[in-house]
Structure 1
């Protein structure tokens, strides 16, 4: 018996079929999107010694962003050759991947799937072209980590054994000392060696004091005194102390005279010293003494700072003497011109200006003119 379908039922069946087709199409688009088949993409290549369980269709990430898939895996042609991967990447991320980018195979989570992670590279590098080969980083295998952990534990066990032996030796030594054995034991149980050591220390301090007095006297004897005369001073600290003299000073920043950390005058530095020479000539008297004091900051250690500032002060002294004759006090007299490198040291005697007003890296040209009683 034939039964006809009514118009409403036919319409309902048609809508139902269209819905099924739409859902199927939507699912196909989603699947294609997950495999980066409907977006605009481009291809890159990467070569690894081992791909560590990575399979075709594996995800590719750029800085953690889902960026594509592993389209193909090409096995090596001969033993020892790398495994070559073809990566299909979202074209929108192409400007991020530069020629110095790196690719590595990692595991998502603790036991997740193996994926390819790309670090884009530096901003000043060129964009990697379509089909370009991206540099690869050997993946860290679990076996490698276990091997390193095992080696670390072996070293730790060796250290623990050595420490145990050392502690046993220390305990034996401490026991012997407590019983008065050996030199240390006698020192701890007998006062006489300690009293002798104290007397010897006192005698040594007196000897060193006598030696210092002899050295101070030796500075003023010929020919040793000539060395200190060439430097222009005997004691660095006393070079700035002239209680019977008036004081005129000019401060110059190190950068106006030298390149940083150098003791060779620059062109601008020589021009600056030419102006300094004119200033000194306006204030020089026949008995004026000139002190060139150089200072630096704490960027160098004490020894290097003293050597740098001494050579800077001597370079200034040599230029002013040879080019402007500031060491001349008359036809038959010479003027003392001292070059003193203070390094990081700050003299006990403050300058005429507050110390905080001066930069650490500087040179001071100081004129001392003895004052006669009025």
Structure 2
């Protein structure tokens, strides 16, 4: 009886071990399949002036279809030379990847991870050879796009203000003409001329108003809306003004958190944020909201300062959310966390206390409604 039980136990253990090995093999196969290491593949190369954060293992798409992975990233041999990506692509798609296929680096889901997208070429072109070099398009850098859009919008703002000032002058002249003042007023006594000037002024006012409406709509149109909304560009100071809430703030110097002139957290900076997270968990309440505001020297170029401080604020927000869950307000509840880069701009809101704050800093502000 005991001998029979021993055999059954041995058989059960052997079966369990076989099951574990089978599951392990299946998992390894899935991982290998995910990295395109077990199916037939071929290689193509593409060169870019910058790869915008693409790394080995990132996905390759062909017209949105999962087609392979980035096998390796080859850095430039000399300054100014392009970066080369070696792509491992499904052999079944070899006949679709032609010699004139174009590689593009795009964000998956527009704000997600970077992927390499293969844009089809002409149907009569020959398939690319193994390890062949295909064309590429320089990646669109959102920072450059925002910089250009910001310059254009500021120019529109200046044009609208100049037009408004000109119309005010026209209105003043029209008033003098109506009162018979000045040389023109003495020469013109026809009310129709005055009426025409007034009508011109009104049409100008409507034009300026329409221009301002179009400017506002442009600021709220994707992808610019995300940029301007994230930076509170429209009413940036208001993000720091919560009149019905208690305001508690922790201020950290930028040099405590980041490498000089960058948005990369240092080990010391992560330690300081760990301390802030402990303070936050003791202080915060369920209904509270968090604003992470980054500032720098006002002497820095305005566009560069806004881009730097926005990335610094987002880096602090991401670390506190990913490592300490400051956006969690309980079961199935999320706390609002806003990251805003103010550049060298000084908010109109008066700071608590008389001690001056460092110009290069990050404020972690907790707003708790009191009503």
Q: TM-score, normalised by structure 2?
A: 0.47
Return the index of the structure with the highest Cα Rg.
Answer: 1
| TM-score, L = length of structure 1 | 0.47
